[in-house]
Amino acid sequence: MKKCYSTGALTMTVGAMLLGGAVSASALEVKSGNDNVQLNLYGHINRAVMSVDDGNETKIFHVDNTNSESRIGINGEVAAYDSLTIGGNVEVEWQSNPSHKVSMQEESISSELKERKMEVYFDSEKIGKLSIGRGDMVSNGSSEVDLSGTGVAGNSGAADAGGGFAFVNTTPVVVAEGEEAESITVGDVFDQMDGLSRRNRVRYDTPTFGGFSFGVSAGEEERADVALTYSGKFAGGTKLKAAVAYSDPGEGGDYTLISGSASLLLGFGLNFTVAGGTRDLDDMPAGGDDPTFMYGKIGYKTKIFSAGSTACSFDYGVYSNIENQDTEEEGTAFGVQVVQKFSDYNTELFAAYRNFELEDNTGADYEPITLALAGVRLKF
């Protein structure tokens, strides 16, 4: 949607919305009580069917895809001066059966409305952007840079689909009477260490210089982080994006974190993505190792159909000592993803396959977990 500032009220049409499984055209008029304010309504619905096999049983789940949660938001902006915009952003998510929470024991999870953003910002082309309120810390997204076009189906956050499923241990485990053996879930092991998420904070981002931008934020419970990002375009349509961040969770954790990612999209569609992170623990067990992860993806993006681009990819990640630092625990994940866009309808169809494996030095023998995911994301 083209951005413009006018003295009249802003009218927007949201077409072909997916409601209750049916596609229908509807019109939604959004107006501000102040003619100087531009309002922008946005969001998306992201639903999928997911089949999971944990080595013991197989079940089918109807989920909200946590790779990009269903959400709705509204943004309001005023052009205060030629080079200064004052704006505010309110955004919430509403997931029924989140794909990272459902499990063999819990197939149905009630919808829960959660705040994502509630902030005011001052954006100047010359000075930079100052944001106040709940929103992204500068490190959020630092390990998720991805130009493959398949991020909605799978990315470095491997546990976004299947995170609630527990690995089945085929080795007999002896526990005290009345106690249950501890279980390890996909979410416990496959953590992409993506900074400090969204918090109540103050954030500042510099203007972009030669493709680079620097950001710093300080938030609740003494959280703080810094990040450096890059975005560039080159001859032949080649694009490069990258981010690196240092995070201190303050009272929220006893560690510091370094995370980063980079993605290269060549002009003819071949693309490469890498990500990694390490968590420096304050209280490391004797002989233990810091949690780390490394992730890579190779993909190809082209236009087979006139309706929109087609993207496919293969990814592989190694996640070490995330849950236990003293057992040489290692989780590996690989997967394939396909996404077909329908540009005229703001719609994407996607499908993915994912395999999770876990090994440690305790003598346990864990069954691999496999899942298949297929769904649709409609943006409005």
User: Residue 192: inside a domain, yes or no?
Assistant: yes
Predicted TM-score (pTM) of the model is 0.88
Distance CA 308, CA 237 (A): 17
What pLDDT digit, counting tens, does each position of 255-289 carry?
999 999 999 999 999 999 999 999 999 887 766 78
Distance CA 313, CA 155 (A): 10
User: Residue 304: inside a domain, yes or no?
Assistant: yes
User: Residue 4: inside a domain, yes or no?
Assistant: no
Q: Which of 159-163, 255-259, 267-271, 323-327 has the lowest mean pLDDT?
A: 323-327
User: Residue 286: inside a domain, yes or no?
Assistant: yes
What is the average per-residue pLDDT within 334-346? Answer: 97
Residues of the chain with pLDDT > 70: what percent? 89
User: Residue 5: inside a domain, yes or no?
Assistant: no
Q: 282 or 299: which carries more pLDDT confidence? A: 299
What is the average per-residue pLDDT within 38-67? Answer: 97
User: Residue 243: inside a domain, yes or no?
Assistant: yes
Q: What is the CATH number of the domain that holds 284?
A: 2.40.160.10
pLDDT at position 21 is 38
Token representation of residue 254: 């006893």
Half-sphere exposure of 285 (CA within 13 A, CB side): 10
What is the average per-residue pLDDT within 34-58? Answer: 93
User: Residue 96: inside a domain, yes or no?
Assistant: yes
| Contact call for residues 32 and 9 (beta carbons, < 8 A) | yes
Residues of the chain with pLDDT > 90: what percent? 77
Q: What is the residue range of 196's domain?
A: 17-379
User: Residue 7: inside a domain, yes or no?
Assistant: no
- When divided into structural domains, the chain yields a total of 1
pLDDT at position 325 is 66
Size (the chain), residues: 380
